[in-house]
Structure 1
């Protein structure tokens, strides 16, 4: 593989992982804000979830500023865990949307992160 092709693969892998991670983080914060709106400020658990979701969105949005694969992969792993747990909670509640949507985002993030991690191997094989 030429250096140009390798760079293109790496660039595509980074931006695909970035897009999926940001979508996952935005969906997570949207559900958190919805929970705060439904329960008001008395719903302390929803406020804690919203604070964590806000931090993840900010980290996901600033990741391209540093162009660090490792940083983006760390955020992707965090979002995978969050979405996986959200899918589990949705299943316990018996809510199909709150089970399937996070499960799909969890799997999409795993695939995108794997694509990014493997692009590094392609790059180092040259």
Structure 2
């Protein structure tokens, strides 16, 4: 594999993982904000969820500024955990949409993060 191909693969892996992570964080913050809107300021659980979701989306959005694979992977892992737990909660509540949507985002994030992690390993074998 040529150096140009390796660099292109690594760049594609980074941006794919970035896009998936931002989408996942965006969906998470959207649902959190909607919960706050539905429950008002008395819904303290929704407020706490929103504060954490906002932090994750901000971190995901600024990841390209530092161009750090490790930083992006850490955010991707956090989003995988969040979406996995959201999927479990949806299953417990018996809501198919709140089960399948987060499960799909969880799996896609795992695939994208694996692609990024493997591209980094391939690059460092040289």
Taking structure 2 as the reference length, the TM-score comes to: 0.99
Report the equivalent of 1:2.
2
* Residue-pair matches, total: 126
SS of alignment partner, residue 92 of structure 1: helix
Matched, 1:86 2:86: yes
Task: Kindly indicate whether residue 28 of structure 2 is the aligned counterpart of residue 23 of structure 1.
Answer: no
CA RMSD of aligned residues (A): 0.5
Deviation at 1:40, TM superposition (A): 0.4
Cα distance in structure 2, aligned partners of 1:63 and 1:112: 15
Counterpart of 1:67 in structure 2 is 67
For residues 1-126 of structure 1, the aligned pairs below 5 Å read 1-126=1-126
Q: Deviation above 4 Å: which 4+ runs of structure 1?
A: none
TM-score when normalising by structure 1? 0.99
1:125 offset after TM fit, Å?
2.5
Could you tell me which runs of 5 or more consecutive residues in structure 2 were left unpaired when the two chains were aligned: none
Distance of 2:124 and 2:55 partners within structure 1: 32
Q: What secondary structure is seen at the aligned counterpart in 2 of 1:49?
A: helix
Pairwise CA distance, 1:103 = 0.2
Measured after TM superposition, the shift of residue 122 of structure 1 is: 1.4
